[in-house]
Structure 1
Amino acid sequence: MAATRLDLRDVPPSERHPMIHTAFETLDSGEALEIVNDHEPRPLFYEFQAEVDAFDAESYVCERREEGKYVATLPKQ
């Protein structure tokens, strides 16, 4: 699965979700958006699950790699 990666740790919080949605929209079916965040993006998961039909919630993965570094994969159906 091809992935696009966004490191959001230095992006102001108010700009993160719009940036993520824009990047996700540019993906082709079967690709994934990988985000690096300073906290677990659980609210983002629920937002995508409720609002983005192409989001493959079953294949979503999030890992805490170290303090202040979470990597989440948002796959597109």
Structure 2
Amino acid sequence: MTASLTSAIDLRQIAPPQRHSLIFNSFEALLPGATMELINDHDPQPLNEQFQMRSPGLFSWSYLEKGPQVWRVQIGKSAKVASAASGGCCGGGCGG
């Protein structure tokens, strides 16, 4: 089964103070293996850095369009999220 696009969020239509909470809540709601698309009027690279701090190794980030007027990014939720969330490691001894 391939990952499917589950939602697209046009950030240009959302007030800046509400954007990041919407994005992270939408990401949390994704099933492992699913993706969402962000549409913005500037490069959301600082958001990528926040994802790296919050969810290292548990997401993918792919530019679909790189400006200059529209930026589109596909963010995927790794299947690893399911095992990480359930403590699916081996009690700390797996190095993982």
TM-score by length of 1: 0.84
Q: Report runs of 4+ in structure 1 exceeding 6 Å deviation.
A: none
| In 2: Cα distance, 1:40 partner to 1:52 partner | 20
Q: Could you say what secondary structure the match of 1:30 adopts? A: coil
| In 1: Cα distance, 2:55 partner to 2:45 partner | 15
Note the residue ranges of structure 1 that are not aligned, 5 or more in a row.
none
| In 1: Cα distance, 2:76 partner to 2:22 partner | 16
**1:30 lines up with 2:22 in the alignment:** no
Alignment RMSD, CA only?
1.6
Note the residue ranges of structure 2 that are not aligned, 5 or more in a row.
79-96
Shift of 1:36: 0.4
Aligned pairs (5 A) from 1:1-77: 1-3=3-5, 4-53=7-56, 55-56=58-59, 59-62=60-63, 63-64=65-66, 66-77=67-78
Number of residue equivalences: 74
CA distance 1:20–1:8, shift in 2 (3 Å): same
| In 2: Cα distance, 1:16 partner to 1:60 partner | 17
Percent pairwise identity? 31
